[in-house]
Structure 1
């Protein structure tokens, strides 16, 4: 049985400001790398990436503060200067009290100016008339910012955002909160961000994706042991395999998924979930449904095994259907998908409670199943049971009765509930967030809000549940569901301009 869990490479660790500062401090103090050397490595790494991709640019405008973020920009400018790219450096609030390493790099930059192509301005007002430049570099405030951007810095950022020129951020766009992704008063809109020593968590929350542009990770000599406290990671295809293992010789050895879904008026959810799961190559998909809805499935799901419960007048699940449903579930090994379109009848809530209390199969709870779970005073999760919850933001808020005013709060709630309840949570939205039992969380770096559209959540649930049936771990199953969905979305959008219907992913 496949039980692969996620294990992100260090290039995909998401660092908070506090962790970044701790790693930097330990590397300098314990590994005896001085700050000047780290600054040199960062600026050189960024300059090499720039020279590889932006050879057509010839003169940069460097907006600098007084701290080490400005020092990174000055190293960057020095390497570009040696490659014939002119520089105008503006110290927004003067250069009289620069940090030690930034002052040293300014002196070095001036020494390397053999052709007199460097201009240095001591304040923002003197620099504003400058027009002869074709790109901008942000070396203003970095990750140490802990209050709103004000004064000349805010003025410079607003001016910069009006320029129709490529803008490059050193480590992080000034004004973007490195933890939450929120804008701190105002923020620079970068086309390209060079992130030093680790990606920042805020790049992928709230306004982060809109402000960072293309992101390049610039490796620094930080020991891996200093990153062990990292709990959030970036999810993408570069390190998560989405290939499905070969199936077994017999259909029931090739993954069996039981689906409890559908009710009068909501049969479409069951149909899409079942078709989505079947498309992943399972040996069998078995739909348990109220007997009154069976004729619909007989016509629309010829490849799916149907197991009706109740009588012909039953069009939604009732408490008395639980015993028969549990007998069916016990027939074969596999996993269970519970919830798409089951409705919100009071008797259905009791039915869900009975199923969850007794069932021991790996179980994905989605849609109306989540709503029913939220009606219970206590989650009826047996000890050691393996659950995956797939809520959109509204369902998550109803489940936990907590504030979800931002992506950062959503991330915190997912981490807390995953750990407390020992469940895996795939929180749909932008970004998609996978919360695990360890606790570790994984964030997507692309727009997953598509999965919150009506019907697409059922398709996603079917795929994730299928991977559970194939024996993948809960976190791996969620990751494969998100990434395989992305691949199919990318493929669709290469050929069509309109947003696809859910059936295009089945």
Structure 2
């Protein structure tokens, strides 16, 4: 049994700053676990991971005034117990620290029996030690809403110039916790310890480039407080793919209809059909204009071909609609529509009429998306399940056609999926899956290769195959992405050159 995508483990929940602060506050107020204890757990978790790194001798701790600095001071205390020296710089002085941070500063001073700590009360006073081997970023955390200013900019620039690893507390200073955008400047962390819940900004926009390796450090937040979360991180630790069980007959093992192809664009259908077939389906049935049938007869021996129209038809026309609908109605299955369809006006009409009459689970890709963007509204029957797989340009066209306002990429995907009732697989880095229920899933691995010409057709074939095998739409998207990722990794183990689309099949 394949795990349902909605069963994301709590370690893969992605929090924005508001939800993170809300959960923290509720844990303190309703569960009686005070902030000082939460800070202790966060800092000690990070320190234990640090102590597993290469041998550390001396760290520079850059601290602000809030709880982010408190986390850093807890780390300093634990490392001090292992004879690691610490130079601690308070960018804005040590007056008016948050209560828990102030308490941890006082506690740290009590542990300083061997005078292994050095304190600076401002950036101007800071004198860099001659020998140190790491930097702790405890300056600004998830509450940052405006550009980094003043001495914090100087500290960030200094840290970025050092040939030493930087370890960030919760989120790198200067990175917006929700959007992943740079707020004026940003520290380049080699490692980020994120506490209690993973932060959205670590995986969006500039986040992956500046967060480095991300370590999730669990805090005692009750799971019921996390249920308002609606964004999750995808990776193979919880998205599993099992090979399909052969049926008694080819039509009992998953049937996929592919409506694709036009003159000059036959390769897209070939790659999509081969990709779907490789997933173990019982039958892949390619419906194409009769004029281009000879190409597929030569290249797709395992694929059932169903030509429509006459030998003079090289693209789909509106008068092909009834014939195509009749073919799709012969056997129960799913539909992939779009690869290489072309952009003739008659094809746009054909797409509209076919989709209006078909209630099979449907994936719409490539030129199928272009055709949809030409229509005033989506011709989606209420009971049907659709998956749309746009790249950024195609998504922009779809947004305009529905009148939705473009926002951040994540918000755009979420709103479009909710408004239209479709599952949206937005290609890019990261890839984002949006569902009609308003939930979104972000990939935690490199999906840039899916933007190369032809790779999108391969991905559409894999997603369509999982849908034909009976998976839910969002699960089909996640499995299709992961399957491609695994095949890419296997390819790169043995090759140095860029993969071709066929390497994902």
Name the structure 1 match of 2:31: 31
Residues 490-499 or 470-479, more deviating = 490-499
- Alpha-carbon distance in structure 2 between the residues aligned to 1:3 and 1:10: 15
Name the structure 1 match of 2:491: 492
| Equivalent position SS for 1:126 | coil
Following superposition, the deviation at residue 129 of structure 1 comes to 3.5
Name the structure 1 match of 2:180: 181
- Alpha-carbon distance in structure 1 between the residues aligned to 2:98 and 2:295: 72
C-alpha offsets along residues 452-505 of structure 1, whole Å, 9 cap, x if unaligned?
111000000000000011001100000001111111111111111111000111
Name the structure 2 match of 1:110: 109
Name the structure 2 match of 1:464: 463
Aligned 8 A contact 1:3 1:473 in 2: no
- Alpha-carbon distance in structure 1 between the residues aligned to 2:178 and 2:404: 18
- Alpha-carbon distance in structure 2 between the residues aligned to 1:431 and 1:22: 26
Name the structure 1 match of 2:10: 10
Following superposition, the deviation at residue 50 of structure 1 comes to 1.1
Name the structure 2 match of 1:412: 411
- Alpha-carbon distance in structure 1 between the residues aligned to 2:3 and 2:137: 45
- Alpha-carbon distance in structure 2 between the residues aligned to 1:403 and 1:359: 26
Tell whether 2:251 aligns with 1:248. no
Name the structure 2 match of 1:268: 267
- Alpha-carbon distance in structure 2 between the residues aligned to 1:211 and 1:325: 50
- Alpha-carbon distance in structure 2 between the residues aligned to 1:103 and 1:487: 48
Closer/same/farther in 2, CA of residues 445 and 492 from structure 1, 3 Å limit: same
- Alpha-carbon distance in structure 1 between the residues aligned to 2:2 and 2:157: 52
Following superposition, the deviation at residue 403 of structure 1 comes to 8.4
- Alpha-carbon distance in structure 1 between the residues aligned to 2:243 and 2:413: 27
| Equivalent position SS for 1:492 | helix
- Alpha-carbon distance in structure 1 between the residues aligned to 2:164 and 2:25: 35
Unaligned stretches of 5+ residues in structure 1: none
Tell whether 2:219 aligns with 1:220. yes
Map 1:59-208 to 2 at 5 A.
59-208=58-207
Closer/same/farther in 2, CA of residues 462 and 180 from structure 1, 3 Å limit: same
Closer/same/farther in 2, CA of residues 2 and 324 from structure 1, 3 Å limit: farther
Name the structure 1 match of 2:256: 257
Give me the TM-score of the superposition, normalised by structure 2. Answer: 0.98
Give me the TM-score of the superposition, normalised by structure 1. Answer: 0.97
| Equivalent position SS for 1:303 | coil
Q: What is the number of residues matched between the two proteins? A: 503
Residues 236-245 or 428-437, more deviating = 236-245
Following superposition, the deviation at residue 5 of structure 1 comes to 4.2
- Alpha-carbon distance in structure 2 between the residues aligned to 1:130 and 1:91: 15
Map 1:280-359 to 2 at 5 A.
280-359=279-358
- Alpha-carbon distance in structure 1 between the residues aligned to 2:27 and 2:412: 32
Following superposition, the deviation at residue 243 of structure 1 comes to 2.1
Q: CA RMSD in A?
A: 1.4
Residues 28-37 or 305-314, more deviating = 28-37
Which structure carries more relative contact order (alpha carbon 8 Å, separation 6+)?
A: 1
Tell whether 2:278 aligns with 1:279. yes
- Alpha-carbon distance in structure 1 between the residues aligned to 2:168 and 2:431: 25
